[in-house]
């Protein structure tokens, strides 16, 4: 609880309207998009300027109050949960695009800009911001940067971290710092921009972002490949890449996911198939057509049961839109949907999918798998019911096995969702104890009082369950 | 993958003294509370995975940027109340009534949450709780118990409005005290009301308008209470169109208000009583279809099955009734095409009725009909299916929010450079007229019901 004196101080900074702490307001900022996690903050503050952010942080730091910066709250790893209470700092009033620099091909914007709005704005002048996380219609660019968000175009274009050129950020002391900028080449000192990307709000609060833009591709084509077994699908992906073709997107859906998506989007998918690949190539017309035809040939020669080219760009877009809704469409099956993002090198994709199926059988769970096959980023998704504690226990054990398997195959515990609370106790599997200690020292250099998003990334690794504060 | 066991969380103590926890079970009070909270569909509340995909489609979230004004936030609050972590208090009431009920979130929701039903239940819980505590507002009682269920009283209301307009004096309405029975805001909206048909005109309506050709269908016309008072001519135009398209149009006797306003305002039993009267009236009339021209009414009529979920006696009759309900747009595109003789030469834009688009999934049919009129150029807004802020009586109950939404809508309208806003629901029509006035575009832009537009081109 904040003292009345502190309340008034915060209100004097941002104004009554942007300081929220009624029971219902606090309740509405106690969750993000992660299942099963909820914790009530002490206040919600919606700052309107960098000066306000600095003042709030300074006061919070002085009084050792946790500050959890967030955008739209679409995180899937518990990153925006105020697990130790404190202040939820909602950055969505920073929603202006300050500049689209067509000469330097950059955009400079506030962290509260919705990702899809950035797409619309830059595309209107023939430019392209490729990162497209599944929640892009509501996620903020600030959230994407803080979490190192990915998306469907990672294979060819990379992810959010590959587009962030410069940042303005505020430290707990209230110091406002800048890193990077519009320079393609810039090796002046440590790359603090890269350090802040994916830091999950634990190092500083981002208040301005400069991103790199590309020319908008002239055209795109979508191809659908249906396979009678998983191994064929994985082998098709491997052979496309081996043939030196880098498609913009290769998405993968297993049979269970296909069924649910088809029910939702009414696409008339052949539901007797074991899996499908959605492949999209973009670029100049001639190259795109040539690539797509070559991909179709490879698929046919590699055991595809059916290869179909989307007749129009609209049909292609509709197929991809269906893929975008896969996660949420799955949630229709059972009340609780738990989605992970274990990632493996592309060549181990088939093995990983089979391992997930084995684990699902072992623990008697329903796990559907879809994801970004082109970059090995899978989304094993478990449909369960949070009221069934025994089943939830099995889900937890199953995912633990899945994470270990991903590491065994040379992969990682999280490809694009972040560590947050959900995967903090597996972090050591990927990075090792030494790296965790170094990260903790870095964290202390930025935030010695540990007020910025405490309880995230670094877990007490001896505990299986994170215990939420009992104040 | 982390598991959070709910009892580890400190939610309840933080809700503080407002949480109705103190009472021990087994008392009559506790039992009543249990019955009240039992109204929440817990399975459906849990189906919400709080992905947030609804947020960008929600007009009140777009206006405020606040989670409490979003569908995801409201569902979280309902869940909080259902789990007794939050109280059914004034704040909860404000949160639930700040929703337009436009159901745009349902279109966006990949999990298929029946949000419209959840918000109706939440309001029902709020209202039942107030009844239990003996705290009911006089205005609400006035409107829901003494006006809408009584066609004659609505007619009297309409007649009085007509008198006021015929005299050219809005003041007359105030002088007669008519406007005093309704809140201040209704008076502000009242200048958007079109000329109302005279009582004489209305009495001349024959009970049936026969088909102009060999009849294909016999349809029962659902007039709608507001629609028939304020937009009598639009109802007549709709009947003419249906008759030209080959329908015998029956103005079914003894029909009542659809009950939408009751249902959206937590008055479920009042809504169900009106539904029963309509089901009986249209059963007696023995018609092929029940046709209406108001998206809001149509969505309610199609929802009757859900209203009788726990009433096996009426459930079956409601389902058969629902199977016959069609919006006039839906039916007209299925019938042989109308022949238009008068090209209109106008650029128009179409404002979806939320309950026609999101509630009934009728989006293409009105557009198809508009495009079929010679000389009409349909230019789409960037967000035609985003609510205009009318939302039943929302623009009366939440006037300021409604006007903020409307002003944004008018900016979208003006970008189309259209001279006409076509709508498919009386509330939207009034609201768009209000919007034209607020934007200072009287004389340059007109709002019309789609049936009037089609009728003009015949």
- For chain A, the structural domain boundaries read 4-90, 97-215, 219-314, 333-430
User: Of the given ranges (A281-285, A378-382, B134-138, B438-442), which has the lowest mean pLDDT?
Assistant: B134-138
B307: buried, middle or exposed (CB in 10 Å: 19+, 13-18, 0-12)?
buried
pLDDT at A428 over 70: yes
Name the closest residue on chain A to residue B112, using Cα atoms.
Answer: A332
Q: Which of B2, B5, B91 sits opposite A24 (nearest CB)?
A: B91
pLDDT at B15 over 50: no
Q: Which residues of B touch A139 (CB under 8 A)?
A: 52
Provide the residue ranges of all domains of chain B, joining segments of one domain with +: 6-136, 139-190, 202-333, 340-456
Q: How far is B186 from chain A (nearest CA, A)?
A: 28
Bigger pLDDT: A130 vs A469: A130
Q: Tell me how far apart the alpha carbons of residues A360 and A252 are, in angstroms, rounded to a whole number.
A: 18
* pLDDT confidence band for B58 (50 / 70 / 90): very high
Which residue shows structure tokens 């859900």? Answer: B306
Q: Does A84 touch chain B (CB under 8 A)?
A: no
Q: Which of A20, A21, A27 is the best substitution to test chain B (most B C-beta atoms within 10 A)?
A: A27
User: Of the given ranges (A62-66, A90-94, B42-46, B349-353), which has the lowest mean pLDDT?
Assistant: B42-46
pLDDT at B163 over 70: no
Bigger pLDDT: A267 vs A441: A441
pLDDT at B320 over 90: yes
CA distances from B18 to B74, B77, B87 (A): 18, 14, 6
- Is the Cβ pair B53, A31 closer than 8 Å? no
Q: Which of A90, A387, A399 sits opposite B1 (nearest CB)?
A: A399
Which residue shows structure tokens 């430019």? Answer: A127
- If one looks up domain A97-215 in CATH, what number appears? 3.30.465.10
CATH number belonging to the domain at B6-136, selected among 3.30.420.40, 3.40.50.620, 1.10.1060.10, 3.40.50.970: 1.10.1060.10
Side-chain half-sphere CA neighbours of A122 within 13 A:
30
Res B143: pLDDT: 63
Q: Tell me how far apart the alpha carbons of residues A207 and A91 are, in angstroms, rounded to a whole number.
A: 8
Q: How far is B95 from chain A (nearest CA, A)?
A: 9
Mean pLDDT of chain A: 92
Task: Say yes or no: do domains A219-314 and A333-430 share a fold.
Answer: yes
* pLDDT confidence band for B435 (50 / 70 / 90): very high
User: Of the given ranges (A139-143, B139-143, B307-311), which has the lowest mean pLDDT?
Assistant: B139-143
User: Of the given ranges (A466-470, B68-72, B286-290), which has the lowest mean pLDDT?
Assistant: A466-470
pLDDT digits (tens, 9 = 90+) for A351-400: 898 899 999 999 999 999 998 998 899 999 999 998 999 999 999 999 99
Q: Which of A31, A40, A422 sits opposite B10 (nearest CB)?
A: A40
Q: Which of A40, A335, A337 sits opposite B43 (nearest CB)?
A: A335
Bigger pLDDT: B30 vs A39: A39
How many Cβ atoms are within 10 Å of B34's Cβ, its own excluded? 11
* Cβ contact A356:A344 at 8 Å: no
- Is the Cβ pair A422, B50 closer than 8 Å? no
Res A332: pLDDT: 81
Res B18: pLDDT: 40
CATH number belonging to the domain at B202-333, selected among 3.40.50, 1.10.10, 1.10.8, 2.60.120: 3.40.50
Percent of chain A scoring above 70 in pLDDT: 96
pLDDT at B166 over 70: no
Q: Which residues of A touch B73 (CB under 8 A)?
A: 28
Please enumerate in sequence order all residues whose Cβ is within 8 A of that of B221, keeping only pairs 6 or more positions apart, or say none.
B235, B238, B239, B242, B249, B250, B251, B252, B291, B292
DSSP 8-state class, residue B18? G
pLDDT digits (tens, 9 = 90+) for B324-381: 999 999 999 999 999 999 999 999 999 999 999 999 999 999 999 999 999 999 999 9
CA distances from B66 to A41, A91, A132, A349, B329 (A): 15, 11, 24, 41, 36
Q: Does A364 touch chain B (CB under 8 A)?
A: no
A vs B, Cβ pairs < 8 A, gives: 153
Q: Can you name the CATH fold of A219-314?
A: Alpha-Beta Plaits (3.30.70)
- Is the Cβ pair A36, B2 closer than 8 Å? yes
What is the mean pLDDT of the segment spanning A438-464?
86
CATH number belonging to the domain at A333-430, selected among 3.30.70.260, 3.30.70.2740, 3.40.50.300, 3.90.1640.10: 3.30.70.2740
pLDDT at B407 over 60: yes
Mean pLDDT of chain B: 84
pLDDT at B190 over 70: no
CATH architecture of B340-456: 3-Layer(aba) Sandwich (3.40)
Cα-trace Rg, chain A: 22
* pLDDT confidence band for B188 (50 / 70 / 90): low
Longest alpha-carbon distance in chain A: 73
Q: Does A27 touch chain B (CB under 8 A)?
A: yes
pLDDT digits (tens, 9 = 90+) for A290-318: 999 999 999 999 999 999 888 777 888 77
Per DSSP, the residues of B90-149 read HHHHHHHHT-----HHHHH-TT---HHHHHHHHHHHHHHHHHHTT---HHHHHHHHHTTT
Res B140: pLDDT: 65
Res B136: pLDDT: 64
Q: Which of B1, B14, B111 sits opposite A422 (nearest CB)?
A: B1
* Cβ contact A179:A167 at 8 Å: yes
- Is the Cβ pair A38, B16 closer than 8 Å? no
pLDDT at B9 over 50: no
């Amino acid at each position: 609880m904040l003292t009345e004196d502190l309340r008034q101080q915060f209100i004097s900074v941002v104004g009554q309207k942007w300081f929220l702490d009624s029971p219902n307001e606090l309740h509405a900022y106690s969750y993000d998009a992660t299942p099963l996690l909820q914790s009530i903050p002490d206040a919600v503050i919606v700052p309107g300027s960098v000066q306000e952010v600095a003042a709030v942080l300074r006061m919070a730091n002085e009084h050792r109050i946790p500050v959890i910066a967030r955008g739209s709250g679409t995180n899937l790893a518990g990153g925006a949960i105020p697990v130790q209470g404190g202040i939820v700092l909602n950055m969505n009033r920073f929603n202006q695009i300050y500049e689209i620099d067509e000469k330097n091909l950059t955009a400079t914007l506030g962290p509260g800009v919705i990702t899809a709005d950035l797409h619309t704005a830059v595309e209107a002048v023939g430019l392209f911001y490729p990162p497209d996380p599944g929640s892009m219609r509501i996620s903020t660019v600030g959230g994407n940067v803080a979490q190192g968000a990915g998306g469907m175009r990672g294979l060819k274009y990379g992810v959010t971290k590959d587009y962030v050129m410069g940042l303005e950020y505020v430290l707990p002391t209230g110091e406002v710092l800048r890193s990077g900028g519009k320079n393609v080449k810039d090796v002046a000192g440590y790359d603090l921009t890269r350090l802040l990307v994916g830091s999950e709000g634990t190092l500083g609060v981002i208040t301005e972002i400069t991103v790199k833009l590309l020319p908008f591709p002239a055209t795109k084509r979508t191809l659908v490949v249906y396979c009678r077994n998983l191994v064929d699908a994985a082998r098709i992906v491997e052979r496309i890449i081996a043939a030196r073709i880098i498609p913009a997107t290769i998405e993968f859906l297993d049979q269970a996911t296909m069924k649910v998506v088809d029910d939702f989007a009414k696409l008339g998918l052949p539901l007797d198939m074991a899996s499908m690949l959605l492949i999209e190539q973009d670029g100049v017309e001639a190259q795109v057509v040539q690539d797509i035809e070559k991909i179709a040939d490879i698929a046919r020669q590699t055991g595809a049961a059916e290869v179909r080219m989307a007749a129009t760009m609209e049909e292609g877009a509709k197929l991809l839109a269906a893929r975008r809704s896969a996660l949420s469409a799955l949630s229709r099956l059972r009340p609780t949907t738990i989605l992970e993002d274990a990632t493996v090198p592309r060549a181990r994709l088939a093995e990983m999918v089979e391992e997930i199926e084995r684990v699902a059988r072992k623990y008697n769970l329903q796990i559907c798998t879809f994801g970004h096959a082109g970059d090995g980023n899978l989304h094993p998704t478990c449909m369960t019911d949070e009221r069934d504690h025994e089943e939830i226990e099995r889900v937890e054990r199953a995912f633990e096995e899945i994470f270990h398997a991903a590491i065994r195959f040379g992969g990682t515990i999280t490809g694009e969702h972040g560590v947050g609370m959900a995967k903090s106790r597996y972090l050591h599997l990927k990075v090792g104890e030494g790296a965790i200690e170094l990260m903790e020292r870095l964290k202390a250099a930025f935030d010695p009082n540990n007020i910025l998003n405490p309880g995230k990334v670094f877990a007490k690794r001896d505990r299986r369950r994170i215990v939420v504060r009992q104040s | 993958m982390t598991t959070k066991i709910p009892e580890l969380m400190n939610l309840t103590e933080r809700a503080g003294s407002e949480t109705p926890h103190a009472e021990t079970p087994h008392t009559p009070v506790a039992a009543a509370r249990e019955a009240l909270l039992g109204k929440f569909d817990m399975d459906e509340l849990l189906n919400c995975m709080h992905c947030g995909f609804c947020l960008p489609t929600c007009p009140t979230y777009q206006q405020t940027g606040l989670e409490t004004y979003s569908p995801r936030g409201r569902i979280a609050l309902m869940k909080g109340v259902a789990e007794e972590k939050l109280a059914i208090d004034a704040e909860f009431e404000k949160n639930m009534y700040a929703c337009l009920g436009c159901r745009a979130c349902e279109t966006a929701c990949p999990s298929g949450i029946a949000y419209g039903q959840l918000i109706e239940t939440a309001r029902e819980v709020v209202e039942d709780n107030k009844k239990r505590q003996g705290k009911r507002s006089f205005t609400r009682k006035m409107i829901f118990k003494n006006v809408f269920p009584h066609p004659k009283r609505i007619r009297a209301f309409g007649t009085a409005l007509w008198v006021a307009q015929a005299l050219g004096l809005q003041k007359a309405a105030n002088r007669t005290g008519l406007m005093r029975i309704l809140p201040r805001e209704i008076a502000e909206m009242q200048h958007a009301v079109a000329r109302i048909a005279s009582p004489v005109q209305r009495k001349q309506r024959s009970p049936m308008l026969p088909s102009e050709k060999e009849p294909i269908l016999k349809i029962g016309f659902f007039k709608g209470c507001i629609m028939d008072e304020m937009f009598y001519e639009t109802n007549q135009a709709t009947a003419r169109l249906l008759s030209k398209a080959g329908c015998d149009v029956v103005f079914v006797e003894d029909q009542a208000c659809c009950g939408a306003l009751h249902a959206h305002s937590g008055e479920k039993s009042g809504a169900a009583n009106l539904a029963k009267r309509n089901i009986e009236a249209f059963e007696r009339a023995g018609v092929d279809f029940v046709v209406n021209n108001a998206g809001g009414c149509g969505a309610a009529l199609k929802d009757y099955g859900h209203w009788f979920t726990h009433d096996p006696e009426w459930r079956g009759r409601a389902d058969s009734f629902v199977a016959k309900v069609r919006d006039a747009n839906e039916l007209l595109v299925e019938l042989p095409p109308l022949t238009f003789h008068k090209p209109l030469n106008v650029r128009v834009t179409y404002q979806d009725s939320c309950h026609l688009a999101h509630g009934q999934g009728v989006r293409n049919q009105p557009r198809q009909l508009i495009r079929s009129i010679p000389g009409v150029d349909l230019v789409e807004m960037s967000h035609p299916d985003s609510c205009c802020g009318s939302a039943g009586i929302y623009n009366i109950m939440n006037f300021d929010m409604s006007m903020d939404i409307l002003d944004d809508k008018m900016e979208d309208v003006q970008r189309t450079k259209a001279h006409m806003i076509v709508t498919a629901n009386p509330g939207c029509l009034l609201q768009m007229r209000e919007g034209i006035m607020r934007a200072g575009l009287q004389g340059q832009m007109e709002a019309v019901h789609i049936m009037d537009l089609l009728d003009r081109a015949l």
